[in-house]
């Protein structure tokens, strides 16, 4: 049987970007990508679909189209890891052998953890931008609602794109505001967490929008049940009490957990996500095993922007591992969350490990702590082509990997 130089589990944002980056660096590598899906999604676009800005079609491509030409696509799901014998088992029981493994199957949206939610999604005014097929329904509900109550929910961390639950809310509110309907619509934001956003520098700008739109922000309020037919949502409060809120529209974001086959494997840590060194993204036990994207047990913001920076780091370190050398590149925890506070303006959160601000632009050009038109332009016009033609093709002009021991400006420390 073939032993691939590199096997990659998952052909999403992280897996494809890493494969492209590896092949850019070493064209003759044998790479297999294990990926069961026929479609690859640009999920960051779903916020824009939910607001009626993007056509859903621009957020999807066939998997065949994004697979690097030189990679071998195994069209199945991985189901188990045998890191001691350097192999991955597929759904049909086949074992695939590797010299180095990259784990990137994303996370699991746990819709079923909220009783009643899955049954009513797409009906009874219940929607979520976290699914391709439902994001257009968000826009439909916003267009149709003239008065009543709209609830937006956020589950406990970690979730992918921590800002996305409120992005949907701000864009909906802005739509109602422009059509002079907002006064008749009671908007509530129920978040399981204590603060509007995990990095304090961005909270003042967001708070200003909470006030402008008259949103009732309920921290420590966790969605625990939905009765779609009765249009009632249940929230557990900090003190354990459960309250009921009737709604006309509910934008729900599901709890997010590690995929089952990862959680039950030896490569997961206690959280269920893949254990990695936060800088090198290498597993602490198996030196030829790496992971990136939403599946890693690191404290960075789970975003495609993070995967964009992680992909070349993993590529460099995988090649070092294949050559019997120590990891040579480090990830600083960069993640980015463009908070769409109104149609036309964005608060561009960019930060690394420990909440350290890591802006891509000088403050005089773009201050991410304030809503700017330039950041909207980036999200609306620049980021989709950067994703499809830059990140997924291994073109790294915006995200070259940083060698270990180097400061971000490339100077030795
Ligand atoms: P994914 O891109 O989800 O890919 C995982 C892949 O693994 C999938 O193709 C899946 O089919 C495959 N897979 C699953 N199970 C298996 C298996 N058993 N075997 C093999 N393959 C498997 N990020 C930003 O940077 N900016 C944003 O503004 C932003 N907004 C977002 C808004 C929404 C509504 C959502 C949902 C996400 C948003 N994100 C944003 C987050 C971003 O989409 C993710 O962080 C990113 O896609 C993570 O990449 P990944 O490769 O880890 O996972």
**Calpha distance 175→183 (Å, rounded):** 12
- Nearest-atom number in ligand 1 for the CA of 335 is 25
> Which is nearest to 151 in space by CA: 215, 100, 203?
215
- Nearest-atom number in ligand 1 for the CA of 40 is 9
Q: Which of 17, 104, 117, 161 is catalytic?
A: 161
CA of 304 to the centre of ligand 1 (A): 7
pLDDT digits (tens, 9 = 90+) for 46-63: 999 999 999 999 999 999
Length of the chain: 413
| Cross-strand pairs, 102 | 8, 290
Please tell me the number of Cα atoms within 13 Å of 346 on its side-chain side. Answer: 23
Contact partners, residue 247, CB within 8 Å, separation at least 6: 125, 148, 149, 150, 151, 231, 232, 233
**Calpha distance 360→336 (Å, rounded):** 10
Q: Is 18 among the residues known to form the active site?
A: no
pLDDT digits (tens, 9 = 90+) for 123-147: 999 999 999 999 999 999 999 999 9
Q: At what angle do helices 304-322 and 13-25 cross, to 10 degrees?
A: 40
> Which is nearest to 116 in space by CA: 257, 252, 260?
252
CA distances for 190 relative to 138, 185, 217, angstroms? 17, 16, 6
**Calpha distance 383→386 (Å, rounded):** 5
pLDDT digits (tens, 9 = 90+) for 141-194: 999 999 999 999 999 999 999 999 999 999 999 999 999 999 999 999 999 999
ipTM confidence score: 0.99
**Calpha distance 34→47 (Å, rounded):** 28
Give pLDDT, residue 396.
83
Q: Spell out the domains of the chain, with CATH numbers in brackets.
A: 3-107+258-403 (3.50.50.60), 109-257 (3.50.50.60)
Contact 281, 317 (CB under 8 A): yes
Look at residue 373 and give its three-state secondary structure.
helix
Q: What is the pTM of this model?
A: 0.96
pLDDT band (50, 70, 90) for residue 413: very low
Q: Is 161 among the residues known to form the active site?
A: yes
pLDDT digits (tens, 9 = 90+) for 334-351: 999 999 999 999 999 999
Burial letters 220-249, b for 16+ CB under 10 A, else e = ebbbbebbbeebebbbbeeeeeeeebebbb
Q: Is 28 exposed, middle or buried (0-12, 13-18, 19+ CB in 10 A)?
A: exposed
Give pLDDT, residue 407.
47
**Calpha distance 295→291 (Å, rounded):** 7
CA of 164 to the centre of ligand 1 (A): 13
């Amino acid at each position: 049987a073939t032993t691939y130089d590199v096997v990659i589990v998952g052909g999403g944002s992280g897996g494809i970007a890493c494969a492209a980056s590896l092949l850019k660096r070493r064209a003759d590598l044998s790479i297999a990508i294990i990926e069961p899906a026929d479609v690859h999604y640009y999920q960051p676009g779903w916020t824009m679909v939910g607001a009626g800005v993007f056509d859903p079609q621009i957020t999807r491509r066939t998997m065949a189209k994004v697979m690097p030409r030189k990679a071998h696509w195994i069209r199945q799901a991985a189901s188990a890891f045998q890191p001691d014998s350097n192999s991955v088992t597929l759904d049909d029981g086949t074992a695939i052998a590797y010299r180095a493994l990259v784990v990137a199957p994303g996370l699991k949206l746990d819709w079923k953890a909220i009783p009643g939610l899955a049954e009513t999604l797409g009906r009874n005014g219940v929607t979520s931008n976290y699914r391709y097929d439902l994001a257009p329904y968000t826009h439909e509900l916003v267009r149709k609602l003239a008065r009543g109550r709209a609830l937006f929910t956020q589950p406990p961390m970690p979730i992918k794109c921590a800002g996305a639950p409120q992005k949907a809310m701000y864009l909906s509110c802005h739509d109602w505001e422009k059509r002079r309907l907002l006064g008749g619509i009671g908007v509530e934001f129920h978040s399981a967490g204590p603060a509007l956003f995990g990095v304090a520098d961005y909270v003042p700008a967001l708070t200003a929008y909470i006030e402008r739109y008259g949103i009732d922000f309920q921290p420590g309020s966790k969605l625990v049940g939905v009765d779609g037919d009765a249009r009632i949502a249940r929230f557990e409060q900090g003190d354990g009490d459960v309250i009921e809120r009737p709604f006309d529209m509910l934008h729900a974001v599901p709890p997010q957990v590690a995929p089952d086959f990862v959680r039950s494997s030896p490569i997961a840590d206690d959280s269920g996500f893949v254990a990695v060194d936060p800088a090198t993204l290498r597993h602490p036990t198996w030196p030829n095993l790496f992971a990136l994207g939403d599946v890693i047990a690191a404290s960075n913001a789970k975003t495609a922007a993070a995967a964009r920076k992680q992909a070349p780091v993993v590529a460099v370190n995988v090649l070092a591992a294949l050559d019997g050398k120590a990891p040579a590149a480090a990830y600083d925890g960069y993640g980015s969350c463009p908070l769409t506070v109104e149609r036309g303006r964005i608060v561009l959160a960019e930060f690394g490990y420990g909440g350290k601000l890591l802006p891509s632009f000088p403050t005089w050009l773009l201050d991410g702590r304030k809503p700017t038109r330039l950041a909207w332009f980036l999200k609306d016009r620049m980021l989709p082509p950067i994703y499809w033609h830059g990140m997924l093709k291994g073109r790294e002009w915006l995200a070259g990997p940083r060698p270990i021991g180097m400061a971000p400006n490339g100077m030795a420390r």
